[in-house]
Structure 1
Amino acid sequence: MFENLLNTLGLSAFSLKGFGPLLMEGTWMTIKLSAMSLLVAVLLGLLGASAKLSKVKLLRLLAQCYTTLIRGVPDLVLMLLIFYSLQTWLTSLTDYMEWEYIEINPFSAGVLTLGFIYGAYFTETFRGAILAVPRGQVEAATAYGLKRGQRFRIVVFPQMMRYALPGIGNNWMVMLKATALVSIIGLADLVKAAQDAGKSSYQLFYFLVLAALIYLAITSASNVILRWLERRYAAGTREAVR
């Protein structure tokens, strides 16, 4: 699979100077990290959007503080703060409870950190999309006797996705590129693999360009999937406009 990708990009396995497996592992790590972080971010985004639209003032305040903090502090600073604070808190807890020392797995830390950061951006994406759903649709579902969970799943969510997908696509692309930051907490992602290969072969520029091309291939494949999702959720609207 990786060799086919390289051939598509016009590169041969010989030109990798034996670092093909390392780059393949780094690419797979980046894809896994991005996908798992996306799940966490979407979940936090839905919870955050629900809190911002809640009638409970405390929930609205907490959600506002969350999005303001995340959007106002650089991702790199947040990643370092969250990663090291989590380890510090966990160490303090194990010492207090007299448990054995527990070290946070870098992959889990990367997923939680990226998911927490980009959950704030998804919060605003979903909040705007929910507000864009005609209120009459929700009132009609309520009059029909649907419960709150059923209203969201059957009526709100499909229409919300139609408005949210452009924002989801943008957030996904930014988050995919932000996975390069996890190398600072010891995770062997694509950027870390490219750096190691480049330093070992004294061809750092070459391997960084190769990493950039692999990122471009992943984002291009993501665009295809996003366009398919947009057509799927907008299928009914085009017939209605005609």
Structure 2
Amino acid sequence: MIKIENLSASYGRIQALRAVTLNMSPGTVFAVLGANGAGKTTLLRSILGLVSTTGTVRLDGQDISRLATHERIRRGIAIVPEGRRLFSDLTVRENLLIGAINRSDRSRVQSELQDICDAFPILGKRRDQAAKSLSGGEGQLLALGRAMLSRPKVLLLDEPSVGLMPIAVTEVFTTVAKVSREKGLTILLVEQNAKKALKIADEAAVLELGSVAFKDSARGMREDRRVQEAYLGGH
């Protein structure tokens, strides 16, 4: 589905990614772990074309490395950014519809909007309320629903657990796993909460100083002593 080969990225003279190679299979969750400053968010920005890069990004076998960001989005990449970035004064419904801004099949959009409200009942219940009235966990579900309404092939999630209560983190991660499984959606999950991420992921990698330090199945990563000691509290 999406293949990254020797991807390097820089901000001026600062190199943030160093020859990263990753391969994400269709309909799977791929977790990217690492400390602050490891290059996780830069990886997502590079996939979207928001950073100066070298290397290759392929989507469905097609090289999209030189495409502008809006063209990559049209090809089927969506992102839920860290902090959600909702339009707080717009309603839940209006926020969701922003995800479909590039779609022309309006009748299908309305049908899929209802599907999202059915899948996330709290959004259906509060569809006419301002987004600022939602809790952190509800806001994260709204951001996820908004991205889904763009009908992506690949969904990028940037630190979805940030700022959430533990019970909300569990709900969000359970929903992410369900969406991938039921919709066949490929998800690239960038996350510091390694335990939660590895619980729902199929495959995973650890970034350190912009390079891939470890790469394995999520199960293999959970059993790797180095990963346990550095990211899973030693067990």
Shorter-chain TM-score category?
under 0.3
Structure richer in strand, relative to its length: 2
State the TM-score, normalizing by the size of structure 2: 0.24
Structure richer in helix, relative to its length: 1
Query: Larger radius of gyration, structure 1 or 2?
Result: 1
